[in-house]
Amino acid sequence: MDLLLEINDLHCGYDDQPVVNGLTLHVTQGNLVSLLGPSGCGKTTVLRAIAGFQTVRAGEIRLNGKVVSSPHIRIPPEQRNLGMVFQDYALFPHLTVTENIAFGLRHHSATARQKTVDRLLELIGMEGYGQRYPTELSGGQQQRIAVARALAPEPTLLLLDEPFSNLDVELRERLAIDVRDMLHAQNATAIFVTHDQHEAFVMGERIGVMNEGHLLQWETPFNLYHEPADRFVADFIGKGSFLRGEMSTSDTVTTELGRITGNRAYPWPEGTPVDILLRPDDVMIVDESPIRATVTDRAFKGADTLYTLKLSNGMEMLSLMPSRYDYLIGSEIGIEIDIDHFILFPVEPIA
Amino acid sequence: MHEITPDNPILRPEARKGRLPGRLNKWHYASGALALLVAIPLLVVFSGWLQPDTEIWSHLAETLLNQLFINTIKLVIGVGLGVTLLGVTLAWLTTRCDFPGRGLFDWMLMLPLAIPAYVMAFVAIGLLDFSGPVQTALRSWLGVGHYWFPEIRSTGGVIAVMVLVLYPYVYMLARTAFLTQGRSTLEAAQTLGYGPLEVFRRVALPMARPAIVAGTSLALMETLADFGTVATFNYDTFTTAIYKAWFGFFSLQTASQLASLLLLFVFISLMTERATRRRAQYHDTMRSGKPTRFILHGWRGWSITAALSLLFAIAFLIPFIQLCLWAMESISEEFDSRYFGLLYHTLLLGLLAALLTSACALVLGFARRYQRDRLTAFTVNIANLGYALPGSVLAVGIMIALTQSDHFFHRLTGLLGYNTTGQILGGSVFALLIAYVIRFMAVAHGPVETGLSRIRYSLPEAARTLGARPREILTRIYLPLIRPGLLTAMLLVLVDTMKEMPATLLMRPFGWDTLAVRIYEMTSEGEWERAALPAITLVLVGLLPVILLVRKTLQDR
Amino acid sequence: MKKTIIALLTLAIALPVYAEETITVYSARKEHLIKPLFDAYTEKTGVKIQYITDKAAPLLARLKAEGANTPADMLMTVDAGNLWQAAKEGVLSPVQSDTLKKNVPEHLRDPDNRWFGLSVRARTIVYSTERVQPSELSSYEDLAAPKWKGRLCLRTSKKVYNQSLVAMMIARHGEEKTSQILEGWVNNLATAPFSNDTKTMQAIAAGQCDVGIVNTYYFGRLQKKDPEIKLALFWPNQDEAGVHINISGAGITQHAKHRNAAIQLLEWLSSEEAQQQFAALNMEYPVNPKVTPDDLVASWGKFKADDLNVALAGKLQTQAIKLMDRAGYR
pLDDT tens per residue, range A228-272: 888 889 888 888 888 888 898 888 898 888 888 888 888 888 888
- Among C9, C195, C317, the residue with its CB nearest the CB of B248 is C317
Q: How many CB pairs under 8 A join B and C?
A: 161
Provide the chain B residues 21-60 that lie in CB contact (below 8 A) with chain A: 22
CB contact under 8 A, A94 and B480: yes
Per-residue pLDDT at C29: 93
Least confident of A179-183, C61-65, C268-272: A179-183
* Subunit contact A77:B464, Cβ cutoff 8 A: yes
Residue C25 is predicted with a pLDDT of 96
| Residue range B426-454: mean pLDDT, rounded | 88
d(CA A315, CA A337): 14
CB contacts of A14 in chain B (<8 Å) are 6, 14-16
Q: Which residues of B touch A39 (CB under 8 A)?
A: 3, 5, 7
- Is the distance from CB of B380 to CB of B368 less than 8 angstroms? yes
User: Same domain, yes or no, for A206 and A270?
Assistant: no
Please indicate if any CB of chain C lies within 8 Å of the CB of B526: yes
Q: In this complex, is the C-beta atom of B545 within 8 Å of any C-beta atom belonging to chain C?
A: no
Indicate the number of domains in chain A.
Answer: 2
Mean pLDDT of chain A: 88
Check whether residue A55 and residue A182 sit in a common domain.
yes
C contact chains, 3+ CB pairs < 8 A: B
Contacts of A149 in chain B (CB under 8 A): 462, 466
Residue C13 binned pLDDT confidence (cut-offs 50, 70, 90)? very low
Task: Let me know the angle formed at the C-alpha of C47 by C41 and C52, rounded to the nearest 5 degrees.
Answer: 80
pLDDT, residue A2, reads: 76
By C-alpha distance, the chain B residue nearest A53 is B461
Using CB atoms, which residue from A19, A78, A91 is nearest to B464?
A: A78
Q: What are phi and psi of B478, to 5 degrees?
A: -65, -55
Nearest CB partner across the interface for B5, out of A39, A48, A153: A39
Contact with chain A for residue B555, Cβ under 8 A: no
The mean pLDDT of C139-158, rounded to a whole number, is 95
Q: B224, B217, B213, B214: which is closest to B74 by C-alpha?
A: B224
pLDDT of residue B173: 87
Closest by Cα among C281, A160, C31, C225 to B521: C31
Q: Does B32 have pLDDT greater than 70?
A: yes
Within A161-275, residue ranges assigned H as helices are 169-185, 197-203, 221-226, 231-236
Q: A39 and A52 share a domain?
A: yes
What was the pLDDT predicted at C20? 47
- Amino acid symbol at A121: L
Measured between alpha carbons, how far is B153 from C195 in angstroms, rounded to an integer? 10
d(CA A143, CA B108): 40
Higher pLDDT, A64 or B291: A64
- Distance (Å, rounded) from C-alpha C197 to C-alpha C191? 14
Q: Do chains C and A touch (3 or more CB pairs under 8 A)?
A: no
> Is B175 an interface residue toward C (CB < 8 Å)?
no
Give domain status of residue A337, yes or no. Answer: yes
Of the residues A236, A253, A278, the one at which a domain ends: A236
C169: confidence class by pLDDT, cuts 50, 70, 90: very high
CB A39 to CB B463 under 8 A? no
Final residue of a structural domain among A185, A210, A236? A236
Residues of chain A positioned with their CB less than 8 A from the CB of B458: 86-90
User: How far, in Å, CA of C274 to CA of B536, rounded?
Assistant: 34
Q: What is residue B283's three-state secondary structure?
A: coil
A180 found inside a domain: yes
CA distance B250 to chain C (A): 7
Does residue A302 belong to any structural domain of this protein?
Answer: yes
CATH number for the domain spanning A138: value is 3.40.50.300
Nearest to A40 among B6, B19, B462 (CB): B6
pLDDT at B7 over 70: no
Phi, psi of C7 (to 5 degrees): -60, -45
The H or E element that residue A319 is part of is: strand A316-322
Average pLDDT, chain B: 83
Instruction: Name the residue facing B246 among C57, C71, C208 (closest C-beta).
Output: C57
Same domain, A335 and A301: yes
B465/A78 CB distance under 8 A? yes
The answer to the question of residue A351 being in a domain is: no
One-letter amino acid at B279 equals R
Residue A266 sits in a domain whose CATH number is: 2.40.50.140
- Any A CB within 8 A of B462 CB: yes
Confidence (pLDDT) at B2: 31
Does the structure show a pLDDT above 90 at C183? yes
Going by C-beta distance under 8 Å and a sequence separation of 6 or more, which residues neighbour residue B168?
B87, B109, B110, B111, B112, B113
Beta carbons within 10 angstroms of residue C94's beta carbon:
14
pLDDT for B20 beyond 60: no
- pLDDT at residue number B288: 47
- Check pLDDT > 60 for residue A203: yes
Average the pLDDT over B230-256 and give the result.
Answer: 90
- In this prediction, residue C2 carries a pLDDT of 55
Q: Which of C25, C51, C54 to mutate to test the interface with B (most CBs of B within 10 A)?
A: C54
Percentage, residues of chain A above pLDDT 90: 28
> What is the per-residue pLDDT across B276-325, written as a single tens digit (0 to 9) for each?
765 454 544 444 455 667 788 888 889 999 999 999 999 999 999 988 98
In this structure, the answer to whether residues A86 and A192 fall within a common structural domain is: yes
Q: Evaluate whether residue A289 is within a structural domain.
A: yes
CA distance B516 to B524: 12
Residue where one domain finishes, among candidates A191, A206, A236: A236
* Separation of alpha carbons A213 and A215, rounded Å: 7
Closest residue of C to B68, CA-based? C330
Percent of chain B, pLDDT > 90? 24
How confident is residue C271, by pLDDT bands cut at 50, 70 and 90?
very high
Task: Name the residue with higher pLDDT: A218 or B548.
Answer: A218
Q: How many CB atoms lie within 10 A of CB A299?
A: 11
Please tell me the predicted confidence (pLDDT) of residue B15: 41
Residues A170 and A75 placed together within one structural domain of the fold: yes
Q: Are residues A265 and A342 in the same domain?
A: yes
With an 8 Å Cβ cutoff, are B399 and C16 in contact? no
- Mean pLDDT, rounded, for A105-114: 89
Cβ neighbours of C197 in B, within 8 Å: 526
The most confident of A42-46, B109-113, C141-145, by mean pLDDT:
C141-145
Average pLDDT over residues B225-234: 89
More confident residue, A308 or B7: A308
Residue B514, phi then psi, degrees to nearest 5: -120, 175
Length reported for chain B: 557
Closest-approach residue (CA) in chain B for A161: B9
Alpha-carbon gap, residue C269 to C231, rounded angstroms: 33
B363–chain C Cβ distance below 8 A for any pair: no
Structural domain including A292 reads 241-346
- Taking contacts as CB-CB distances below 8 angstroms, the residues of chain A near B20 are none
Is A315 among the domain residues? yes
CA atoms lying within 13 Å on the CB side of residue B391: 20
- List the single range of B342-356, B478-492, C188-202 with lowest mean pLDDT: B478-492
Question: Residue A16: CA atoms inside 13 Å, Cβ hemisphere, count?
Answer: 1
Interface A:B, Cβ pairs < 8 A = 108
The verdict on residue A42 lying in a domain is: yes
Contact C55 B422 (CB under 8 A): no
Sorted by sequence, the CB contacts under 8 Å of residue B545 that are 6+ apart come out as B490, B491, B494, B495
Q: Is the pLDDT of residue C5 over 60?
A: no
Contacts (Cβ under 8 Å, ≥6 apart) of B360: B34, B383, B437, B441, B444
Contact A342, A294 (CB under 8 A): no
Strand A304-311 relative to strand A316-322, pairing: antiparallel
The nearest CA of chain C is from the CA of B234 a distance in Å of 6
Per DSSP, what are the bridge partners of residue C93? C252
Burial of residue A235 (CB within 10 Å: 0-12, 13-18, 19+) is middle
For C50, the enclosing helix (H) or strand (E) is strand C48-53
Q: Cα A339 vs. chain centroid, distance in angstroms?
A: 24
Q: Do B246 and C52 touch (CB under 8 A)?
A: no
Residue B16 scores a pLDDT above 50: no
Same-domain check for residues A161 and A283: no
Give how far B103 is from chain A: nearest CA, Å: 23
CA distance B534 to C31: 15
Residue C207 banded pLDDT, cuts 50, 70, 90:
very high
On whether the CB atoms of residues B43 and B259 are closer than 8 A, the answer is no
**Which strand (E) or helix (H) includes residue C178?**
helix C175-188
Task: With respect to residue A230, please indicate whether it lies within any of the assigned structural domains.
Answer: yes
Maximum pairwise Cα distance, chain C: 75
- Length of chain A counted residue by residue: 351
Q: What is the mean pLDDT of residues B416-435?
A: 81
Q: In sequence order, what are the beta bridge partners of A192? A: A34, A160
Cβ neighbours for C52, distance < 8 A, ≥ 6 positions apart: B505, B508, B510, C26, C27, C59
For residue A105, CA distances in Å to A98, A101, A231, B265, C38 come to 11, 8, 46, 52, 67
Contact B465 A150 (CB under 8 A): yes
pTM of the model: 0.82
Cβ contact, residue pair A136, B289, below 8 Å: yes
- Are the CB atoms for B249 and C318 separated by under 8 Å? yes
Chain A hits for B15, CB-CB cut-off 8 Å, are 14-15
Closest CA relative to residue B215, chosen from B265, B168, B181: B168
SS3 call for C75 = strand
Whether chain C has a CB inside 8 Å of the CB on B130: the answer is yes
The residue type of C219 is F
Cβ within 8 Å, pair C18-B423: yes
Q: Are A286 and A329 contained in the same domain?
A: yes
Nearest to C174 by CA among C320, C305, C315, C311: C320
pLDDT at C53: 92
Q: Which of B7, B476, B479 would you mutate first to test chain A, the one with the most A CBs within 10 A?
A: B7
DSSP H or E segment with residue C76: strand C74-78
Report the distance separating Cα A80 and Cα A49, nearest Å.
12
Provide mean pLDDT across the span B384-388.
87
CB interface of B with A, residues 266-305, below 8 Å: 285-290
Q: How far apart are CA B154 and CA B163, in angstroms?
A: 14
Residue of chain B whose alpha carbon sits nearest to that of A133: B289
Identify the sign of the CA torsion A291, A295, A298, A300: positive
Residues of chain A in contact with residue B5, where contact means CB-CB under 8 angstroms, are 39-40
Does A230 share its domain with A252?
no
B375/C202 Cα distance (integer angstroms): 56
Q: What is the pLDDT of residue A167?
A: 73
Q: In chain B, positions 379-398, which contact chain C (CB-CB < 8 Å)? A: 392, 395-396
Q: What is the mean pLDDT of residues B409-427?
A: 78
Which is more confidently placed, B70 or B407?
Answer: B70
Is there a single domain that holds both residue A106 and residue A220? yes
The whole-number average pLDDT for the span A115-133 is 90
Are B468 and A78 inside 8 Å of each other by CB? yes
Whether residues A14 and B14 touch (CB distance < 8 A) is answered with yes
**Cα–Cα dist B84/B110, whole Å:** 15
A60 forms beta bridges with A8
Residue type, B537: T
- B468-474 long-range CB contacts below 8 Å, 24 or more apart? B468/A78, B468/A103, B468/A104, B468/A106, B469/A78
- Same domain? For A273 and A147 the reply is no
Give per-residue pLDDT as tens, C84-134. Answer: 999 999 999 999 999 999 999 999 999 999 999 999 999 999 999 999 999
> C51 has which bridge partners?
C25
Mean pLDDT taken over chain C: 91
Helix residue ranges per DSSP H, B180-284: 183-191, 196-199, 205-207, 209-225, 228-233, 238-243, 252-276
